[in-house]
Each structure stands twice: as C-alpha cells, then as structure tokens.
Amino acid sequence: MKDSVSISYILSSYIVLTRTCCQNCSFCSFSKEEPLLSPEDLVRQLIRISENGATEVVFVSGENPSDFPHIMLQLATYGLSSFSEYVNMAIKKALELNLIPVLEIGYLNAVSLKSFCKSGCSIRVNLVASNLSQPEQALYEAKNRNPANGKAFVKALRENEIPYTLCFNIGIGETEEERLTFIQELADLCKDDPFLQDIKIVPFQPSQNCKMFDRPPLPFESVARVLEKTKEVFAGLHISVPPNLFSRYPELIERGLNDLGSLAIFSGDVFHPKFSVPNVENIKARLRNENVSIYERGTLSTQEVINRPEFYNIVASTRLIIEKHNQSIISLIDNNHCFVCGKKNPLGLNIPVKEYIKGNTVSFTWLPNENHQSYAGIVHGGILATLLDEAMGYAVMGEGITRRIVTLEYKLNYRHPTPVGLPLKVIASMGEKRHKVISAKGTIYSLDGTILVEATGKFYEIMNNS
C-alpha cells in the first residue's frame, strides 16, 4: 500500500475587472475590449464570495487597460484617476470581507507597482520560457511578453517587497530545454526569497477562440518532467498544476505535485471557461484510492510575509475560516449550481429559496410544468421530495445561513396526486435541536389549502457560521 500523502488547495474565486488588454498572446483567449466592472458589481461579487466561505479572491484584468480611452473615461466617472487606484479600492474591499486579494493584471510599471506596496495584496507573475516572437508563434503580437521582461518584473516585486506567485506557462511553443533552463534561472533569481509564496505550472490547453486552438497540449511525461525539475530547484514550496487543465493530476503527485493551487469553484476558470474546475468532493474521490488526502491552506506561506502589519490580521481571520473547513467531514460549498435554487444551473428549478427564509421558516410558491411530471399531468414524487428537502434544509440553516447542514433522513406522506400546471405552496419550519441533530417539517399545499405532501426530516449540523 502506498504511504499516505496530503496535498493542499486554496478555496478561491476570480473576479474579472476588465478583459481589455494591450497584449495579443496567441495562446490566450481571455482578452476582449470591454468596460470596467462597476464598483457596485465588484462589491456584490465580493460579498457573495465571502459569504460562501472563500478566503482568497483573484482580481483579473488585461494588461495596461488604462492605455484605452474608454477605460480612462470610466475611471473618471467613478472619481478615480488611475487603474491602480481602482485596483487598490478593490483590494481594500476584499480585505474588509476577510478575503486575501491576489492580482493577476499583467506586468506593472514602476509607478503602478509602487502603489501596491504594503496594500495587503499578492501578485501572480505569468512567465514564458522563450521569446516566440516570429510569425505564427505564440508571442508574435505580444508587446512585452518574453523571458527577460518576466525576470525584470520578478526583480521589481522583490525590490518592492510584494508577495508573489510564479506561474510558468508551458507548452506554448518553447522547447523542453528552454522551459527547464528557464525554471532553473528563476530558481537562481529567487533563491531564499521570503516574498515568493508558491509555484504554479500552467500547461497549455487549446481554449475556445484562442489563435492556437489547433495546437496539441503537452504529453504527460513532458509535464511530469517540469514538475520534477520544479520540485528539485524550488524545494519546500507549494507546487501546483490546475486540476481542470490536467486531468491526470493524481499521477503527478509522485513526480512533485504537492498542491492544487487556487480552486476557483465559485467563478470557474475565467481563462479556460470550457475546462470545469473540479469541486473538493470530486477531488477527494479521485485521490482516495491513491491514499492521498487534501486540506485547505491560506494564500500566504512565509512567516516573513504573514507577520507583516498589512497581512497579520487578515491571515488570522482566514485561518479561523480554514480551520472550520478542515474540521468538517464534508465540503459544503455553494457554487450556485444547486438543482433547486442555483441561478447558474440551466437545468435546475431556479427557485430563489434563500429569499424566502424568515427566521427558521421557509415559504414560497412554485408552478410545476410538464417537464416535472411522471404520469401525464402528475408532478413526479421525486421532484416534490426534493422541494421539501430543500425547504426544510434552509429552514434549519436559518435566515443569514447560520448553519451548514446535511440531510440525515426524511419521511414523506403523499396525501393527494399533485397536478401539473397549478401553483403549489411550499412551507417548512425547524423543530427540535438535540446536539447536532435538528428536526424539521414541511408541507406542500395547493392554493385552495389542500395538503398534497407532508414531510419530516432530520439534519446534521456540520458547521456553525454564527
């Protein structure tokens, strides 16, 4: 039997500030001229991410969006003089909501970089191992994306004492010798640097609308050799490969993978939207037979950074959240795809159940249609059971979602056939609490008051958020 191994991850989410970008990298499909995210929408997204238990938010934009007049005009309407000021506003809001902000906004000039010193953020540096500047190559239309400028930006981050992550983009046309040599060069440059927090290996995947769509991804052994080299020269650091971009990630653990990086479960991968980010329970299932367990970690890794005044309080706050998550027997993450209430689920019922919680009671109306039937004209009993399970569960979690729970058992009594095409009233309330087991009851009525279905249930409290 293999020895037990543990690898880490960060519960994270992206927020796209703007896709407007001065670069035109052929391996990327992110760039698109578009407006800035409004401060109001930014705050709404941050609140939702925080409420769902993430501890990190990654602010993403194109490079130098302020080179474009429409961005400068927008900044002026918000009363801001620069894109850096806008990003610092976002950083401040994130910190207020116990989210550690990470910037993935391209290579910054000296003036912009200075504005982020001691702001409480970390920065991701996307690196390439070869110039690839000839026609038809990946960086032919990119203005300043090359190995030399990548190294210069890393040096600037060190000089300004800003925490950072090295992100090696591989498989975009560089040779194996170039990529392994470049990793060694960065290791020499960053030797014993307390501001380097972790390493991310990003294997190319042909995303929709990128110019290199017909380029094949790297084979397994090529990625594995990168992991082995990175483990050799960056010993002791978290080294990750995004699990959504490399499905054989369990096999990489023996080759140096010790981290899964930032799992953007709430937003998905905004750079590769067709490559779904696996959820925590999916990853656990994949790794169980390999005798590998996973645990959540914080964004910042080195004590020199953690103990700095701008990070000390936020790290203490996020640690409490992470400890609760790691003590839980199951990962309960709301990624907005719940079959009943998830707004992002195109096949779901899309009932905004959270809006109908008052104290520990839930009440809402729902209109079933022919897609919800079993026999002609009769609502499927499984759908009704699902509605009652959802309503009772939210009654137990309560207004403000003060608990995280799972269903232990529930019993149903179908009193009358439930017709399709007529509104139903669903009501549920919490009952007794005995230790961590909480009872609830629920009823589905027709609008004339006829009881159609009754249910009782028991729910187990996994986590208390109050």
Measured between alpha carbons, how far is 242 from 264 in angstroms, rounded to an integer?
Answer: 10
Return the closest-CA partner of residue 303 out of 163, 190, 165, 199: 163
- Confidence at residue 329, expressed as pLDDT on a 0 to 100 scale: 79
Rg, Å, the chain Cα set: 25
36-81 residue pLDDT tens = 999 999 999 999 999 888 999 999 999 999 999 999 999 999 999 9
Measured between alpha carbons, how far is 135 from 268 in angstroms, rounded to an integer?
Answer: 32
- Confidence at residue 404, expressed as pLDDT on a 0 to 100 scale: 86
241-282 residue pLDDT tens = 999 999 999 999 999 999 999 999 999 999 999 999 999 999
- Confidence at residue 2, expressed as pLDDT on a 0 to 100 scale: 64
Do 107 and 153 touch, CB atoms closer than 8 A? yes
149-174 residue pLDDT tens = 999 999 999 999 999 999 999 999 99
Per the model's pLDDT, the better-predicted residue between 179 and 214 turns out to be: 179
CA 71 to chain centre: 26
Strand partners, 441: 429, 456
**203 CB-near residues (< 8 Å, 6+ apart):** 170, 171, 217, 218, 223, 241, 245, 246
pLDDT band at 327 (very low <50, low <70, confident <90, very high): confident
114-154 residue pLDDT tens = 999 999 999 999 999 999 999 999 999 998 899 999 999 99
Mean pLDDT for 171-185 is 97
Measured between alpha carbons, how far is 273 from 268 in angstroms, rounded to an integer?
Answer: 7
- Confidence at residue 253, expressed as pLDDT on a 0 to 100 scale: 95
Mean pLDDT for 189-215 is 92
Distances (CA, A) of 255 to 204, 240, 245, 249: 19, 11, 17, 10
191: DSSP letter? T
The strands making up 238-240's β-sheet, listed across from edge to edge, are 14-18, 56-61, 100-104, 122-127, 164-170, 196-203, 238-240, 259-263, 5-11, 292-296
Mean pLDDT for 356-364 is 95
Measured between alpha carbons, how far is 12 from 379 in angstroms, rounded to an integer?
Answer: 39
Mean pLDDT for 312-318 is 94
Return the closest-CA partner of residue 59 out of 22, 10, 24, 99: 99
98: left (phi over 0), alpha (psi -120 to 50) or beta: left
SS3 182: helix
Q: What average pLDDT is seen over the chain?
A: 93
| Least confident segment among 57-66, 166-175, 319-328, 361-370 | 319-328
Is residue 365's pLDDT more than 60? yes
Residues of the chain with pLDDT > 90, as a percent, come to 83
| Least confident segment among 96-110, 221-235, 395-409 | 395-409
pLDDT band at 335 (very low <50, low <70, confident <90, very high): confident
- Confidence at residue 466, expressed as pLDDT on a 0 to 100 scale: 62
Mean pLDDT for 394-399 is 94
Helix (H) or strand (E) holding 427: strand 424-434
SS3 194: coil
Mean pLDDT for 373-390 is 94
Is residue 1's pLDDT more than 60? no
Per the model's pLDDT, the better-predicted residue between 212 and 199 turns out to be: 199
Q: What is the 3-state secondary structure (H, E, C) of 76-108?
A: HHCCCCCHHHHHHHHHHHHHHCCCEEEEECCCC
Copy the structure tokens of residue 88.
Answer: 């610092």
pTM: 0.87
SS3 180: helix
Residue with tokens 């190319």: 204
pLDDT band at 337 (very low <50, low <70, confident <90, very high): confident
Do 61 and 16 touch, CB atoms closer than 8 A? yes
